[in-house]
Structure 1
Amino acid sequence: MEEKYNKILTKIEEADGIIIGASNGLSISEGIHIFAENEDFLEIFGDFRENYGFRSIIQGCFFPFPSEEEKWAFFSRMYNYFLYRDEASPVMKNLHELVKDKNFFVVTSNIDDHFSQAGFPMERLFEIEGNCRNLQCSHGCCDQIYPGDEVLSKMAEQQENGKVPLDLIPTCPNCGGPMQVHIEVDRNFLRDESWQRSYQAYQDFIENAYGKKLVLLELGVGARNQLIKAPLMKLTNAEIHATYITLNKGRELYIPDAIAAKSIGIDGDIAKVLQQLVEMK
């Protein structure tokens, strides 16, 4: 195993560019599992489980709540659960330490904003499915995303009996209509100017990496998450000097034969692997 770690560190050190692809497995390594009916879910969202029957955070994100008061009770509580810490987790700190001095770009389907919290600059970050701390008009009346920290924090603090006070429920500053968290849970998801700018920055990074020493560092991306996985594997296959490094657990660790010779896979706890890599750096 130590030989694999040394090889990973060498590839990162020699890389002209690093693309980090991250999904739910990275969040799980921090202790957040949006697909699980675990102890955290039952403790924090147990009343929603009892009242509505859904068994995970992700199911709650797609649940058709009967009122705005109930909808915002859930989403503000989710916001608070993701971001109650004032600082980044040890997992995210270690990841940042591993790549901070390199030319990198992050593409992620995680909505918890933990990358920016850990010091990853927004101009090097593409959050494909949005971010739990931002708001948008549910009708998409305008190309505008709004910061939601203040109102989400208040709603998380002041909710009672699974509802938030009516006077705290946000409305669109432009049309006066209902709002929602800017995450991709329906067809209303707004790919606004900032989303388009991040997408273009991601494409530009790939374009500038052609022919160079490239590391594709995939963290906790499940086999079904082709939104992130497929482009990284395709790029690995196409680029002569590319190396595909994937950290995951069990059956989720997948390396196709076509890129096996250019790949390094570690089956294990991402938190422990990142800690070991930073200690050996």
Structure 2
Amino acid sequence: MNENPICTVADLIRQADAVLVGAGSGLSSAAGYNHYHNDQNFQTHFGDFEDAYGIRNLFQGFYYLYSKPEQQWGFYARYIDFMEKAPAGQPYLDLRDALAEKDYFILTTNCDVQLPKVFPEERLFQFQGDFRYFQCSQPCHDKLYDNHEMISSMLDAMEKLEVPSEHSPRCPLCGWKMVPWVQDNTFLQGSEWQAGYQRYETFVQKYHERKLLLLELGVGDMTPSVIKLPFWDMTSKFPDTFLVTVNQAKSGAPEHLHGKSLTVCDDLSHFMQALRREQNETNGKNNDSEV
């Protein structure tokens, strides 16, 4: 195996029949959208919420216990609008280019709309939901609602970081409050979620006995049962599957995966950029040799 991890991963992608990506919050952080830390983006776009409520990051703001729903909807509306309008981060574009010649699928715990901006939805399973949709909070029925117009209306009506109660979205069937389609104790795992899960399962079944590369990008330990543990299990059980884990924080795979896994400790922004460059250079050499 090549001593340069960038060259090694590029070779593994080229040799694979397919690539299954596990995308975590570290990929969005590398793109400049850090949901768990107080950074310049947060200060610029949400500093007024920090001043008002002591919120220190986007994740805290989303799950903060506000004293009334008008305040909660103020943050929801600003957060969702910010992520929907934010340009797709470069690491996502680099990932798209890295996978251009391969059959691939992406399993993600991210809800921040970055992946659907770059990849077709039929190649995604957004395990924990998607900011672009609302659901009934009970939920009384199996339907997701595109929230673009509702968010625009709330932002237009917002006063002093609060959305007036008459602009808070209500379920059209039962009249109960709606909530973002994001993992919590009311999260709707209905037909849309099940369809995504089936796409994921179908892809795994198609390639479980072929040369499958698992590419884990920026996955932390907050929800290990979604990506990390299943990827370890597949690497162990599938005969020709190899796991690559890329994370800025030090991490590793279990000892029994020795010889079937590679851990790269690197900034994902740098890693994806270097991987795309390596692949472009190699493809250029291969094209020259065919002339």
Same fold (TM over 0.5): yes
CA offsets 1:161-192 (integer angstroms, 9 cap, x no match) = 111244432111111221111001x3111111
Matched, 1:106 2:106: yes
- Pairwise CA RMSD of aligned residues? 1.7
Cα distance in 1 for residues equivalent to 2:77 and 2:70: 11
Query: Any conservation in 2 of the 1:223–1:254 contact (CA below 8 Å)?
Result: no
Q: Secondary structure at the match of 1:261?
A: coil
Query: Any conservation in 2 of the 1:21–1:218 contact (CA below 8 Å)?
Result: yes
1:23–1:117 Cα change, 3 Å: same
Matched, 1:7 2:8: yes
Cα distance in 1 for residues equivalent to 2:268 and 2:189: 31
Query: Any conservation in 2 of the 1:37–1:55 contact (CA below 8 Å)?
Result: yes
Matched, 1:209 2:207: yes
Provide TM-score, normalisation by structure 2.
0.89
Q: Secondary structure at the match of 1:187?
A: coil
After alignment, is 52-61 or 69-78 more displaced? 52-61
Structure 2: where are the runs of 5+ without partners?
280-291
Percent identity, aligned pairs only, is 31
Matched, 1:83 2:84: yes
Q: CA shift at 1:158, angstroms? A: 4.4
- Counterpart of 1:260 in structure 2 is 258
Cα distance in 1 for residues equivalent to 2:3 and 2:240: 23
Cα distance in 1 for residues equivalent to 2:211 and 2:273: 24
Q: CA shift at 1:258, angstroms? A: 1.5
Q: CA shift at 1:138, angstroms? A: 1.1
Structure 1: where are the runs of 5+ without partners?
none
1:37–1:88 Cα change, 3 Å: closer
Q: Secondary structure at the match of 1:250?
A: coil
Counterpart of 1:138, as a letter, is S
Aligned length: 277
Matched, 1:56 2:57: yes
Counterpart of 2:193, as a letter, is W
Counterpart of 1:168, as a letter, is H
Cα distance in 2 for residues equivalent to 1:60 and 1:88: 22
- Counterpart of 1:192 in structure 2 is 190
Counterpart of 1:100, as a letter, is A
Q: CA shift at 1:261, angstroms? A: 1.1
Provide TM-score, normalisation by structure 1.
0.92
Q: Secondary structure at the match of 2:272?
A: helix
Counterpart of 2:267, as a letter, is D
Q: Secondary structure at the match of 2:4?
A: helix
Q: Secondary structure at the match of 2:227?
A: helix
Cα distance in 1 for residues equivalent to 2:168 and 2:51: 23
CA offsets 1:117-143 (integer angstroms, 9 cap, x no match) = 01x111111111101111001120101
- Give the alignment of 1:25-36 within 5 angstroms: 25-36=26-37
Cα distance in 1 for residues equivalent to 2:247 and 2:156: 35
Cα distance in 2 for residues equivalent to 1:25 and 1:144: 30
Query: Any conservation in 2 of the 1:172–1:178 contact (CA below 8 Å)?
Result: yes
1:157–1:269 Cα change, 3 Å: farther
Q: CA shift at 1:8, angstroms? A: 1.1
Q: CA shift at 1:38, angstroms? A: 2.6
Counterpart of 2:168, as a letter, is I
Instruction: Specify the structure having the higher radius of gyration (Cα).
Output: 2
After alignment, is 138-147 or 3-12 more displaced? 3-12
Cα distance in 2 for residues equivalent to 1:225 and 1:250: 16
